[in-house]
Amino acid sequence: MGKGKITNCQQKYMKIVFVDRNIDLVRKVREAVKSLDEKKQELIEVHKGDVFDYDGVHVSASNPSFTFGGGLDAVLFKKYNKECLQARKTKGMKRIGNVIFTITVDNEYFATEYRVRKALEFAIENTKTRETLVLSGLGTGIGGLNERTFVKLFITALEKMKVETRTIGKKKQEKTYLWKFLRLDGKTIRSQYGNCTWKVGKWQNPVTKIELCERVYHASELIPHALEYVSGEVLARVEVRGKSLKESDKQVWENMRIVEAWELQKEDFVRIAIYAARQVLPLYEQSYSDKRPRRAIEAAEQWLENPCDENESAARAASAASAASAARAARAASAASVASAAIEDIHNFIIGQLNNYKKL
């Protein structure tokens, strides 16, 4: 099962998940999606990562012969071998099972605007209501299509997409979901401060005094922000209601309950730390020749592969050596746009890892 997003929410409409390893393309798409109307924005997710880590209907970007040479199509051929072999038997774009076979390049592997536009439209048209369409930057890899051209074509296809808007009866109040970290005491989930205990699905007792930084019900829209306040073992997706106060990185609400919760292990936090560090490493190394942060990341990666005492000692030593560079790294990533994009990328990375965590 792929990593996907939240698993327990009933999906009413078709969703589109754009996933690509190219962070520059991901940022361009994420920014462009903001130009769409709010209803369509709710149906679209944009992530940096591996497209095959997400469940749904996958899009193959191939040539007219469907030879599945390299890149994503090589992985797709291995994952959906039966469907790929069947696709070769007939010409033209088609859907077979959970794969939409599109043609984005010619037999010389050159992508054109026309082919990519048709591929995007075909993929959207052949995804059913309540299904999730998962695709990447069609034609932007070996096909050589300009990233901005792809973004323009993608947004145009989304603008043409029809969204069912029929509402029956009284409109329900929109629910608000946030994220928070909690502690695990044996089998009991607790707040880090105070004596508050939690059970999945059970509403807490409402508070009468709403103040930020008091011992009440805090949560954040983005997981990295929640982690800054409490580095607990339990990651919880919470529903909130009632009165609230909001800041840029945290909120406090009158009442709250856990909808879903996951227990994270030491290895999980190390993976998050490695991913977060790698987001700002290129920016840091553009300004400084110091290689200690890179060595710390590599030592942590080596420990993940082989968590023996020797590797753990090396990782700790490398981390200590790089600590003096932390202030520089923070200053290098201090631009608001860079910091915001990095936090969103880390949030999306953790979302993509949820199925690897222990569900409580």
Q: What is the mean pLDDT of the chain?
A: 80
94 sits in the region (left: phi over 0; alpha: psi -120 to 50; else beta) called: beta
pLDDT of residue 252: 87
pLDDT of residue 324: 43
Q: Domain range holding 307?
A: 266-359
Q: Is residue 4 part of a domain?
A: no
Looking at per-residue pLDDT, the higher value among 63 and 318 belongs to: 63
Q: Is residue 250 part of a domain?
A: yes
| 60 and 128 co-located in one domain | yes
Question: Average pLDDT of 184-210?
Answer: 86
Please tell me the distance from the alpha carbon of residue 217 to that of residue 205, in angstroms, as a whole number: 10
- As a dihedral over the C-alpha atoms of residue 21, residue 24, residue 30, residue 31, rounded to 10 degrees, the angle is 180
Please tell me the distance from the alpha carbon of residue 255 to that of residue 247, in angstroms, as a whole number: 17
Please tell me the distance from the alpha carbon of residue 39 to that of residue 89, in angstroms, as a whole number: 39
Please tell me the distance from the alpha carbon of residue 267 to that of residue 136, in angstroms, as a whole number: 29
Asked which of 127, 160, 193 is the last residue of a domain, the reply is 160
| 315 and 235 co-located in one domain | no
DSSP state of 203: B
Q: Is residue 320 part of a domain?
A: yes
The pTM of the full predicted model, rounded to 2 decimals, is: 0.50
pLDDT of residue 323: 44
pLDDT of residue 70: 64
| 112 and 249 co-located in one domain | no
Asked which of 225, 244, 263 is the last residue of a domain, the reply is 263
Please report which confidence band the pLDDT of residue 163 belongs to, taking 50, 70 and 90 as the band edges.
Answer: low
Please give the tally of structural domains in the chain. Answer: 3
pLDDT of residue 298: 84
pLDDT digit string (tens) for 117-128? 889 998 998 898
pLDDT of residue 57: 92
| 239 and 328 co-located in one domain | no
pLDDT digit string (tens) for 218-237? 899 888 888 888 888 999 99
What lies within 8 Å, CB to CB, of 271 at 6+ separation is: 304, 353
- For residue 355, count CB atoms less than 10 angstroms from its CB and return exposed for 0-12, middle for 13-18, buried for 19 or more: middle
| 247 and 227 co-located in one domain | yes
- CATH number of residue 106's parent domain: 3.40.220.10
**Is the Cα torsion angle 290, 291, 295, 297 positive or negative in sign?**
positive
Pick the range with the lowest mean pLDDT from 202-206, 255-259, 294-298: 294-298
C-alpha distances out from residue 287 to 61, 90, 281, 298, 330, Å = 38, 53, 10, 20, 12
Q: Is residue 165 part of a domain?
A: no
